[in-house]
Amino acid sequence: MTTVDDLWYLADVASQQAEQTYHDLVEEYDGFVEFTRHRRVQRPRFRTVAEDARDHGAPFGAHSLAFRPTGELLLVRHDGVDMWVLPGGELDPGETFSDAALRELREESGIEATIDGLGMLGRIEFYCDNNNTWGVLPVFEARAETTDIAVQDPDNEISEARWFDELPADTRDREEIQRWRERS
């Protein structure tokens, strides 16, 4: 008996959805920093990101570049990667990317903000065995309306949130964030 692996098909459908999501975001926003990341992952992780990309094109959900009027940027400490990262996460059913970015910002830092546009748009490419797919990572510019921090992360991944003038050395996506800051 031969087992047919549908991973190639899932990857193809996910790539098509990512392409549509990318074009939708490019049509709606302009002036953002683009970047590409490559990830070689194990089969179970590949299936998970391909399923998320198939569903909405964004396997890592939506994130935010939350900033104070004085220019400081909010970062959160993600215990799973042991780095400072931009707040963000997966979409809830029926949620838009910008709504997800604001909800995740609230949960991970207690900050209320207003979306000012798209700051960065990532293309995340995934590889596993002979399969590949990709998804987008929308990162929204979010002007802080409140600045008092209160971490209430329901996923228990975020241990701290802090405003920064200068990015710490252990900031994920440091180069891209600096490119965004330079053009802002």
* pLDDT of 3 over the 70 cut: no
Quick one: pLDDT at residue 119?
97
Question: What is the pLDDT averaged over residues 51-76?
Answer: 96
DSSP E strand boundaries for 28-166: 33-40, 62-67, 73-78, 83-85, 88-89, 113-128, 131-144, 158-164
Question: What is the pLDDT averaged over residues 13-19?
Answer: 98
Q: Predicted confidence band at 184 (pLDDT cuts at 50, 70, 90)?
A: low
Look over the chain and give the mean of its residue pLDDT values, rounded to a whole number. Answer: 94
Residue with tokens 């990857």: 11
Quick one: pLDDT at residue 5?
74
Residue with tokens 């970015």: 101
Output the six-digit token pair for 116: 């000012």
Domain 7-183 is found in CATH 3.90.79.10? yes
Distance between start and end Cα atoms, the chain: 59
Question: Helix 43-56 and helix 7-28: axis angle, to 10°?
Answer: 40
- Write the pLDDT tens digit of every residue in 109-167: 999 999 999 999 999 999 999 999 999 999 999 999 998 999 888 888 999 999 999 99
